Structure 1
């Protein structure tokens, strides 16, 4: 790990990091988002009782699409040829859903931002589809859980 910000040049200007000299390695990252809501809202989501349709399937597809579009949203991200994007959505308890987004590739730069973007957009899509019945939904705990590969090596939130 470095203690300098790699997206700033020697004059402090933002720039896209040059990865041309890096070696290609397998890289993966998993991020999460937790979505909290009323228990009655979660019941409607699980039972398919919302007017916009299948909330879970739509959020999953939105997360996959968002991970692939990350460089269009985050200015200094490199366009990547992702080899895997998975979005797993599970019920944590009577009022929370956990969204996990895992991205992978063999490349010269990591996929942390793609995983974070996928988890975030899946959570926002869940909010959009359920807001008609619960405007108080909260998206929280958006964070990187782990990454593997690359110059900085493996990292896990659990071990940090």
Structure 2
């Protein structure tokens, strides 16, 4: 009993299609669960004075290497995935704080405020935007070669 060649090609096409869908699905899952972010951890007082940052703390994210933060410090961690844990150890004998948070997939850089998190103030994780450099107007730019057209030297002005 032999299978007609037409059904073999249909079966081969179906298997290849299933493999392509499997690879696409694997890519989507990898993107979602292995997405990297830069997390800025901030230990600063509130601008309005509503809370104070701890004097000296040691912070570790996802069980990684801990970094020491004095009041007013900010440092960065590189994290992978959506769900993360943070551990804050205090130098004054206060019991350690452990918390969980999630980072959305949309942006690359987030800032976590430790003082807000330990006090339960929402939102303690915010999108971090770098300040763009101001553009100079073309009319304000100096002409570095004007002295050549005027026949002088750059120091004679």
- Give the TM-score normalised by structure 1: 0.28
* TM-score, length-scaled by structure 2: 0.28
Larger Rg, first or second structure (1 or 2)? 2
